[in-house]
Amino acid sequence: MYDADKSANILKLVSLSLINNAGYIDDKSGNPMLYKRELGAESIVYTLNAREITSDLVIFNLDRLIDSIMYTPQSKNVFFYFLITGEKMLVEEFKHALSDKFDECYERGLLCEAIFVDSDNLSYSTMTGRKPMDRKLRKALERSLDNLKTSSIDDTLDKQKREYVQMQSELRPLAKVGLFNVAFVLILVNLFIFLVDGYIYFKSGVMPLTELGIQNNELIRNGETWRLVTSMFLHADIAHLAGNMLSLYYFGNIILPHLPKKKFLVLYFVSGLSGNILSYFFTTYLSLGASGCIMGLGGFLIYAMFFSKKGYLFRRRGNYFIFAYMIAFNLLYGLFVEGIDNYGHFGGFFAGLVIAWIYSRSNKEKTSA
């Protein structure tokens, strides 16, 4: 006798696992659909109970998706998964009924795959016979089915529900980040110093703040160590200032919702200081600017996005092509243009990576305590 609740519970379990472990978001419209946009790639998973739908309904939706390719070219960049759960005989019937339609989809250029979950044997198969392209989806699905082989569905489902509640609490920002956040305050300070120095230069022909604060390694060796810090607040021209401040505001608004202000300031200043110290040991020319600080923020984000367990908190925010351009431009531009403090850039970048690792370790220790 077939347990009608089993497929429904397996579908709930897999859906929660995709949200918790694969970066998918629940569609709030009430449709049985999960959505993910990560680093420019889009995926949609339709979660379907074979006991509650018909193959004709799936075919109807596939026809609509095929038509959408003709009128909305961006649909060609979306991968559609149809996750169908049911007892062995029923999913085999679906696979047979949908075979020709999926062949047509592939021929028409629709990026799609059908995943059939056998609730009797706790296994899955695909229409193409290949593993799902989304590695995280595949691992989340396999992990869910493996867990069901050793634990009851109620216990496994309860565990995923607890993880979901915890993840949702983590997704909520630590604090609301408005316009006047700590990054914006740093921008105002940099702008104020630039305007004051520029005004004095306009009146007298000298730039006292730059002369007192620029990184001059010879003067630093003679005891003027404050220049390692003050040079972070000085900029050569308006383009130099604008580039750094736009990057600061952009990165700050991604990081600050999930990092306390004090930790953000530590990240900012330690990155800038690290870049200036590296520059002190390996260069002889004068240098100034907040680029080391900015590259530290970039290094922090690289680690947070790709190496931390909570990477989904950061991968869901921002335009990643702009982000990649900013990092690559600042790191590589100086290799081909004279007068760029490459050591300051690389020093700040790697300091940001290290600080992100330290923060990540400290969070793990707090969680396990």
Q: Domain check: are 211 and 341 in the same one?
A: yes
pLDDT of 173 strictly over 70: no
Query: Could you tell me the maximum CA-CA distance found in the chain, to the nearest angstrom?
Result: 93
pLDDT of 369 strictly over 60: no
Residues 53, 55, 56, 58, Cα dihedral to 10°: 80
Residue 54 and residue 94 in contact, taking contact as beta carbons nearer than 8 Å: no
Q: Domain check: are 101 and 14 in the same one?
A: yes
What's the rounded Cα separation, in Å, for the pair 295 and 285? 20
pLDDT of 332 strictly over 70: no
pLDDT of 98 strictly over 70: yes
Let me know if residue 177 belongs to a domain.
Answer: no
pLDDT digits (tens, 9 = 90+) for 41-97: 788 999 999 999 999 999 999 998 888 776 666 666 789 999 999 999 999 999 999
pLDDT of residue 121: 92
Amino acid identity, position 166: Q
Q: Domain check: are 313 and 188 in the same one?
A: yes
Let me know if residue 46 belongs to a domain.
Answer: yes
Let me know if residue 149 belongs to a domain.
Answer: yes
What's the rounded Cα separation, in Å, for the pair 154 and 3? 14
Residue with tokens 């392209």: 133
User: Could you tell me the residue range of the domain that residue 201 belongs to?
Assistant: 182-368
Let me know if residue 13 belongs to a domain.
Answer: yes
pLDDT of residue 305: 83
Query: What average pLDDT does range 6-27 have in this prediction?
Result: 87
**The domain that contains 233 carries what CATH number?**
1.20.1540.10
Q: Which of 195, 274, 182 is nearest to 233 (CA)?
A: 195
pLDDT digits (tens, 9 = 90+) for 110-125: 889 999 999 999 999 9
Query: What pTM was computed for the model?
Result: 0.69
pLDDT digits (tens, 9 = 90+) for 248-306: 998 998 899 888 999 999 999 999 999 999 999 998 889 999 999 999 999 999 898 88
pLDDT of residue 70: 67
What's the rounded Cα separation, in Å, for the pair 170 and 288? 38
Q: Domain check: are 129 and 196 in the same one?
A: no
Number of structural domains found in the chain: 2
pLDDT of 245 strictly over 60: yes
Q: Domain check: are 192 and 262 in the same one?
A: yes
Let me know if residue 223 belongs to a domain.
Answer: yes
Residue 154 and residue 239 in contact, taking contact as beta carbons nearer than 8 Å: no
What's the rounded Cα separation, in Å, for the pair 299 and 345? 10
**Pairing outcome for strands 78-86 and 123-126:** unpaired
Let me know if residue 363 belongs to a domain.
Answer: yes
pLDDT of residue 2: 46
Let me know if residue 254 belongs to a domain.
Answer: yes
pLDDT of 1 strictly over 50: no
